[in-house]
């Protein structure tokens, strides 16, 4: 009986792969954003010092105090957190589009190892490795055609052998081969 696979709400198929590469993306984004944020904060402080040293308009000097520095720092940190969150979600989605087809092909290979032919579902729109999946589909179709050809060739031979009066054990070997091929052809997985 074919096992039903539930649709995932969170696009995680291969935790190790997806978390590894999403983590790398997030680490690079966090590092670059932190460095850029520190440069921005340093430039802001230098601008404040220059304005105060130059004695420019007193109202400008008064407005440039610690609250403004905190506000710039808060905006920088909020932008960093937002960027990391967006890149984290995108990282999971993109790695899912890579892992999804590999997961499906691996599941079908395991079905083939069990001696059955899998029923392939088409890739989702946006999935990667479409060329590999098409090659895999040709492999499955070729194996099914070979099994069907074997069955079609062996059935008349079995019928002819039975008319010759050979022992049932000799015919049983051929019949078992035909039964095995037909079972693989009829399997819905």
The string of DSSP codes covering the chain is -PPP-PPPSS--S-HHHHHHHHHHHHHHHHHHHHHHHHHHHHHHHHHHHHHHHHT--HHHHHHSSHHHHHHHHHHHHHHHHHHHHHHHHHHHHHHHHHHHHHHHHHHHHHHHHTT----PPPPPTT-S-HHHHHHHHHHHHHHHHHHHHHHHHHHHHHHHHHHHT--HHHHHHHHHHHHHHHHHHH---
Q: What is d(CA 132, CA 100) in angstroms, rounded to the nearest whole number?
A: 13
- Provide the pLDDT for residue 2: 47
Mean pLDDT over residues 67-86, rounded? 80
Instruction: Report the percentage of the chain scoring pLDDT > 70.
Output: 81
CA distances 33 to 43, 65, 78, 85, 150, Å, are: 15, 24, 11, 13, 63
The per-residue pLDDT for range 86-110, each reduced to its tens digit, is 888 888 888 888 888 888 888 889 9
Per-position b or e across 83-100, b if 16+ CB within 10 A of its CB: ebeebeeebbebbbbbbb
Tens of pLDDT along 153-163?
Answer: 888 877 877 78
pLDDT at 15 over 50: yes
Is 37 buried (19+), middle (13-18) or exposed (0-12) by CB count in 10 A?
A: middle
Q: How far apart are the first and last CA of the chain?
A: 8
Domains of the chain, by residue range, sit at: 12-113, 119-189
Say if CB 112 and CB 187 are below 8 A apart: no
Alpha carbon distance 64, 49 (integer Å): 9
Give the pLDDT band of residue 138 (cuts 50, 70, 90): very high
Average pLDDT over residues 103-130: 85
Q: What is the pLDDT of residue 64?
A: 60
């Amino acid at each position: 009986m074919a096992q039903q696979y539930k649709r995932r709400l969170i696009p995680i198929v291969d935790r190790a792969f997806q978390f590894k590469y999403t983590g790398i993306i997030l680490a690079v984004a966090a590092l670059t954003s932190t460095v850029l944020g520190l440069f921005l904060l340093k430039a802001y402080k230098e601008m404040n010092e220059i304005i105060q040293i130059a004695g420019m308009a007193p109202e400008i000097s008064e407005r440039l105090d610690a609250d403004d520095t905190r506000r710039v720092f808060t905006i920088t940190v909020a932008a960093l957190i937002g960027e990391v969150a967006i890149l984290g979600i995108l990282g999971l989605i993109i790695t899912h589009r890579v892992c999804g087809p590999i997961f499906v092909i691996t599941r079908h290979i395991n079905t083939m190892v069990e001696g059955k032919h899998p029923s392939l579902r088409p890739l989702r729109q946006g999935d990667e490795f479409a060329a590999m999946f098409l090659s895999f589909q040709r492999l499955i179709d070729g194996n099914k055609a070979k099994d069907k050809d074997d069955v079609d060739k062996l059935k008349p031979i079995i019928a002819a052998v039975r008319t010759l009066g050979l022992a049932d054990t000799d015919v049983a070997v051929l019949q078992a081969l035909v039964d095995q091929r037909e079972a693989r052809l009829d399997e819905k997985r």
